[in-house]
Amino acid sequence: MAQTTFSKEELERYSRHLIIPEFNIEGQRKLKEARVLVVGSGGLGSPLLLYLTAAGVGHIGIVDFDVVDESNLQRQVLFGVENVGMPKVDAAKKRLESLNPHVEFETYNTMLTSDNALEIMKGYDLVADGTDNFPTRYLVNDACVILGIPNVYASIFRFDGQVSVFNYTDKEGVVGPNYRDLFPEPPPPGLVPSCAEGGVIGVLPGIIGSLQANEVIKVITGIGNPLVGRLFVFDALNFDTRTLNLNKNKNLKPITELIDYQQFCGIKPAEEKQEEVPVKEVSVQELHQLISDGEQYQLIDVREPYEYEISQINGELIPLSSVLEKANLISKDKKVIIHCRSGKRSADAIRLLQDTLGYNNLYNLKGGILAYAKEIDQSLATY
């Protein structure tokens, strides 16, 4: 097999790598020969992809089925306002090609599932997991175990981040712990919210994604000691760091096939969700007409106070968590319209009030404040 060579332009580009004694041209050659799959091009994927591309990883695959949203720009530094509405994989490829034309990119504009994961992931040397949900994390882990490739893992939430290297085989052929050794079972559904629900400080993905990229480079080149059998934990609020030791769980069953990870994590299929008791709804146009006609009604906002400060449509603020406690403030004698950001929490509030206290005059604002901002008042801030 012919040895990988570098053009004059590449040698100049990577010169700061080449003069590191522990790295030199052999390390750069390993990077150029490597095939890395990045799952998720959002908060973590942005710095991860930027630094792997800049470092000269020869072939990078990108899996993401989302489109760029304005709310992404607070932390997803791979994208700009000109990318809003574009598929993330397309916007990412365009940006990364401008950063380093010596790297090949392969994009997968699809959700990673049990049906396609092994097909997509095979042929890659390692996978870097930048996702924000438990079903995909378990799926990526199990597929890596089956394929026998390392899984460079990271996660973020509010001010906290984690990094580790799972399923790594050392020079003696010993395979390190995988994600299931850390979390044998997923948490109950809804206990740990996603970043979209719980938030994340904008710089944290940059910090953790960069550390994740560092681990990818270490695994590829063989330099240093990767985070195998260790979990790095970072608290950005207090600037505390800890490194926890991980051991393999001897009681875990061997992973030989992919399963239904939505079911494994206790997430109901879409068809089951549709079987929930429907609630009465009004459209934002109907609400606007009620306001114009001066009709008697009550508008309740079940979002959090910080959301109310960003934007509001003159509803009475009663957060979902306190809706039963403050039910005495909600009328039973006239039409009551309840809203949140998108319509999900307000529907939950209505079911709770109906089932617990027998309300029958409650209406959900379809689409919530997002629909109101889009269709009625474009000056209203969304988030």
Sequence-ordered alpha helix ranges (H) in 6-86: 8-13, 15-18, 24-33, 45-55
Sheet with 281-282, edge to edge strand ranges? 281-282, 362-365, 336-339, 298-301, 316-317
Question: From the candidates 299, 300, 340, 373, which is the catalytic residue?
Answer: 340
Q: How far apart are the C-alpha atoms of 249 and 184, rounded to whole Å? A: 9
Kindly give the residue spans of alpha helices, DSSP state H, lying in 64-104.
88-99
CA distance 58 to 316: 56
Q: Are 232 and 162 in contact (CB under 8 A)?
A: yes
Choosing from 156, 195, 267, 284, which is the catalytic residue? 195
Contacts 24+ apart (CB under 8 A), 289-295: 290/335, 290/337, 295/335
Please tell me the distance from the alpha carbon of residue 311 to that of residue 341, in angstroms, as a whole number: 10
The yes-or-no answer on residue 340 being catalytic is yes
Residue 98 structure tokens: 């401008």
User: Which helix or strand (DSSP H or E) is residue 154 part of?
Assistant: strand 151-157
265 is catalytic: no
Alpha carbon distance 141, 139 (integer Å): 5
* Secondary element (H or E) of residue 339: strand 336-339
- Distance between CA atoms of residues 134 and 270, nearest Å: 17
Active site residues: 195, 340
